[in-house]
Amino acid sequence: MQNFNYHSHTYRCMHADMDMSDEEYVQEYIKMGFKKIAFTDHCPEKNVIDDRPKIRMKYSQKDEYIKSINILKDKYRNKIKIESGFEVEFMPGDEKNILELKNDSDKIIIGQHFIYDDNKKLKIFSKAECTDEELYRYGEYIKKSMELKIADIIAHPDIFLYRRPVFGEVEEAVTRMICEAAEKYNVPLEINLNYIFGKTYFENKKYNNDSFEEQVKKLGNVVYPRKEFWDIVSEYDIKTIYGLDTHRRGQIMLFNELVDLANIIIGEETINKLNFVEDL
């Protein structure tokens, strides 16, 4: 079992469990045998780019968030290693503010949920279809975040395929752009487990007691991880990790089952070729 997880949220993003404390997450990780974790909540924006409600912490919460994680880091130092961090969208022109977040914390994961369209409006992958040009723009944003040494990890790198049922030449080209940069700059790619969680054990935002065999039957509704993407990743020498992308009480306890489901999607042959690492 991978005994670390660097993708974990808190109530501050306002779409995780609002009644779950930072310490409760730590206690669940310890119970599951994790040795190292990073809290990487959705980043606050000094200059607001994404003004949707209940998406990220407020900028005024940043210092309190880091302080809370540092207190837990010390309190549980003999049981688990804890780091602070943020999940960030790399947006051109906002590099200074992103680097400020990096300097204030231990880890930055790039979770690129959106890009700018031609009119500098947000194009959110889960909400709207993207043009081929916009997919290439996603690849360029990811590449630039690595070139500037901002990204410690690329979270759900295949999210750009959210509304792309067909994996064609453009999708492959963007995938290879990301892979070449990840290999060159030695930045790990994350197999994200949260979307699987939301379509199986937490279907319709409510826990169910369905058997593992029944959960497997639901995988047809999972958009990412995307097998075609990871097939290509396996051709490169790229560090690979699993990311829980934790938002819910009890989600950590399902880590092993969620990994097994991800492996079914990607396929044993590809999984065996990926360069999984023991730590970062």
- The mean pLDDT value of the chain amounts to 97
Strands of the sheet containing 275-276, edge to edge, are: 4-5, 36-42, 81-88, 107-110, 153-154, 189-192, 239-243, 275-276
What CATH number should be reported for the domain whose range is 4-276? 3.20.20.140
H/E run at residue 66 = helix 62-75
Is the pLDDT at 191 greater than 90? The verdict is yes
Q: What is the pLDDT of residue 72?
A: 98
Is there a contact between 33 and 3 (Cβ–Cβ < 8 Å)?
Answer: yes
Percent of the chain with pLDDT over 90: 99
Q: Are strands 114-116 and 122-124 parallel, antiparallel or unpaired?
A: antiparallel
* 280 — pLDDT class (breaks 50, 70, 90): confident
Summarize pLDDT for 23-52 with one digit per residue, the tens.
Answer: 999 999 999 999 999 999 999 999 999 999
Percent of the chain with pLDDT over 70: 100
Domain ranges in the chain?
Answer: 4-276
User: How many Å apart are CA 177 and CA 25, to the nearest integer?
Assistant: 35
User: How many Å apart are CA 29 and CA 23, to the nearest integer?
Assistant: 10
- The whole-angstrom distance between residue 118's C-alpha and the CA centroid of its chain comes to 26
Q: What is the pLDDT of residue 129?
A: 92
Q: What is the pLDDT of residue 279?
A: 84
With CA atoms as reference, report the closest residue to 264 among 208, 193, 211.
193
User: How many Å apart are CA 219 and CA 224, to the nearest integer?
Assistant: 10
- Please tell me the pTM assigned to this model: 0.97
Summarize pLDDT for 106-152 with one digit per residue, the tens.
Answer: 999 999 999 999 999 999 999 999 999 999 999 999 999 999 999 99
Is the pLDDT at 243 greater than 80? The verdict is yes
Q: What does the DSSP 8-state code read for residue 222?
A: -
